[in-house]
């Protein structure tokens, strides 16, 4: 979608291009959801391995987490985009989504999120009494079944407050995809104020996208607060 070039004030210029920023917001939301999903799918097993694992597997998972948490996210995104053998994919023209850049950003943000979510889940698992795992084993469940059916549901509930913080971090970190040209919110904001004759609109554009990030963060955190209140474990001291 082309930027609307109008001889109007800076705020009117932004209002005239609301669809342009909306599509960037859609890409940002999709990238946040996909990255958090990757982080969740890898983070819980990693947290469980750090608690219950032994030997080289535990050492590998713990070491990988330390490396991922210690590496700047912009380095990971650029590394994944330019170094990994990701097939060159096309685009989704409706929302100007470059699939190759999107996948690279998702993998980088997702693995980084997994490293942090593993610690959230590790803390949640360790907050559950060891007696529950032993009780589950005593009625015939294997260790894996006990973790899946007894520990996992409780750990997910207890991890919701930590997940709220992780959501906020990942949402803001999506702006780093700007480095590989993905047309998320920050990239589209730059395209707006770099239009000829619109260099004075920088502050207005920054205020607008800051407001969008705030609305996304605030509304999702309130939804997670409600979810936590509904699914909190009675008497669980959460």
> How do the pLDDT tens digits run along the chain, 238 residues long?
455 554 457 788 888 888 989 999 999 999 999 999 999 999 999 999 999 888 899 999 999 999 999 999 999 999 999 888 777 777 887 777 888 899 999 999 999 999 999 999 999 988 888 888 888 888 888 888 888 888 888 888 888 888 889 999 999 999 999 999 898 999 998 888 777 666 667 888 889 999 999 999 999 999 988 887 877 666 554 4
Q: Looking at the domain assignment, is residue 137 inside a domain?
A: yes
Model pTM greater than 0.85?
A: yes
Q: Which domain CATH number covers 183? A: 1.10.3720.10
Which domain covers residue 216, as residue numbers? Answer: 10-231
Q: Looking at the domain assignment, is residue 93 inside a domain?
A: yes
Q: Looking at the domain assignment, is residue 171 inside a domain?
A: yes
Structural domain total, the chain? 1
Q: Looking at the domain assignment, is residue 15 inside a domain?
A: yes
The DSSP call for residue 200 is G
- CB atoms under 10 Å from CB of 75, counted, come to 12
| C-alpha closest to that of 86 among 68, 66, 67, 108 | 108
Q: Looking at the domain assignment, is residue 82 inside a domain?
A: yes
Q: Looking at the domain assignment, is residue 2 inside a domain?
A: no
Q: Looking at the domain assignment, is residue 26 inside a domain?
A: yes
Q: Looking at the domain assignment, is residue 215 inside a domain?
A: yes
């Amino acid at each position: 979608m082309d930027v609307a070039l109008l001889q109007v004030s800076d705020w009117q210029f932004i209002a005239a291009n609301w669809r342009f920023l909306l599509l960037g917001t859609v890409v940002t939301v999709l990238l946040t959801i996909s990255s958090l999903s990757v982080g969740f799918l890898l983070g819980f097993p990693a947290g469980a391995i750090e608690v219950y694992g032994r030997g080289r597997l535990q050492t590998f998972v713990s070491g990988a987490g330390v490396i991922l948490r210690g590496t700047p996210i912009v380095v990971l995104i650029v590394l994944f985009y330019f170094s990994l053998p990701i097939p060159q994919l096309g685009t989704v023209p409706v929302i100007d989504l470059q699939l190759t850049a999107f996948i690279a950003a998702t993998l980088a943000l997702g693995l980084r999120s997994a490293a942090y979510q593993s610690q959230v889940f590790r803390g949640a698992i360790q907050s559950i009494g060891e007696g529950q795992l032993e009780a589950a084993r005593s009625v015939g469940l294997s260790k894996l079944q006990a973790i899946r059916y007894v520990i996992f549901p409780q750990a997910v509930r207890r991890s919701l407050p930590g997940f709220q913080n992780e959501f906020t971090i990942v949402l803001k970190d999506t702006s780093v995809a700007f480095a590989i040209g993905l047309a998320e919110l920050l990239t589209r904001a730059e395209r707006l104020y770099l239009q000829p004759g619109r260099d004075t609109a920088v502050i207005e554009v920054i205020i607008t996208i800051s407001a969008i990030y705030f609305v996304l963060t605030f509304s999702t955190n309130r939804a997670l607060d409600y979810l936590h209140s509904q699914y909190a474990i009675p008497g669980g001291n959460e």
